[in-house]
Amino acid sequence: MNGLKIFIAGHNGMVGSAILRLLKKKNAKLLCKDKKELDLTNQKKVINFLNKERPDEIYIAAAKAGGIYANSTYPADFIYTNIMIEANLIHSAFKCGIKKILLLGSSCIYPRNSKQPIKEEELLNGYLEPTNEPYAIAKIAGIKMCESYNRQYGFSHGIDFRCVMPTNLYGPHDNYNPISSHVIPALIRKFHEAKIKKKPYVVVWGSGLPRREFLYVDDLARACIKIMKIKRIDYKNFTKENCSHINVGSGYDLTILELAKKIMKIVGYVGELQFDSGKPDGMKQKLLDSSRIRKLGWKPKINLEDGLAKVYKNFKSYLCKQ
């Protein structure tokens, strides 16, 4: 990667920052712009930026993301913002002659009743989970944009746009906002605050029965860079023209109850654990089939217990900066 000029959209987020950390070790020339410097929902600003800088590659890690509460409360924000970010970057890259993109998606693109573990071919094979449907539709639109540009301009313009669908992620620089956070940072914050305030119990949304798969974000960053380095012909051989995304997961899932108990132990909270079954659970199970990426030689390095311990340490550092 020596000498490559790479733009990381969303470099301050959990995923973007992990990709940034890894690419810094590869001696690439990195371009990074925060929201104040570049509004990715503004088409004119995006195309002017890309036309001026002309990066060799773009990693699209920028997104408006959140848990069940945030998705249910702000559906218009989620579908609009994410579609605009993807459309502006993908189309502007094409207009500026940038041939290589990696779009970061989400496992929520798959139907709520998908066969487990979920293969890439399950996309558009049923109804989506209602609690995050707007976000999922935006991500599906991004996948189909990449595939459409590949089909129409792959041969004539050398367009090579790729997509990665990670499972549920956690790691440094996660979002710990109690309203918009995902399950792991939300539980870490809840148990930590309950420990400090010596609360007798902690209430967790849902029944605790849904099963979820989790991946430490640095493992995803390794997968992303590996996928970008694959020769175009090899990438095509591992995917299909109308199903060109690649799942990235740990291959291991557990119930939310089991996850909560692991986090309780790591945080050191000794109170009671309660579940509010009146709150939505989301999908019953969401385990990805990651055989495509495994065949390419990737596998995760960080197990859940070690990853959670790292994240709790990061959370305490985050609190010190508040």
Distance, in Å, from the CA atom of 192 to the CA atom of 271, rounded to the nearest integer, reads: 11
Rounded to 10°, the helix 217-229/14-24 angle is 60
SS3 state of residue 166: strand
Amino acid in the structure at residue 140 = I
C-alpha–C-alpha distance, residues 230 and 224, integer Å: 10
Give the Cα-Cα-Cα angle 206, 109, 281 (nearest 5 degrees): 5
Of 59, 110, 135, 149, which is the active-site residue? 135
3 residue type, one letter: G
The DSSP bridge pattern shows strands 211-216 and 253-255 to be: antiparallel
SS3 for 62-85, per residue? CCCCCCHHHHHHCHHHHHHHHHHH
First-to-last C-alpha distance (Å) of the chain: 37
Task: Answer yes or no: 74 catalytic.
Answer: no
Beta bridge partners of 245: 163
Contacts of 181-186 with C-beta under 8 Å, sequence gap 24+, read: 181/66, 181/67, 182/65, 182/66, 182/67, 183/67, 183/212, 183/256, 183/259, 184/214, 184/259, 184/263, 184/308, 184/311, 185/311, 185/315, 186/67
Active site residues: 135
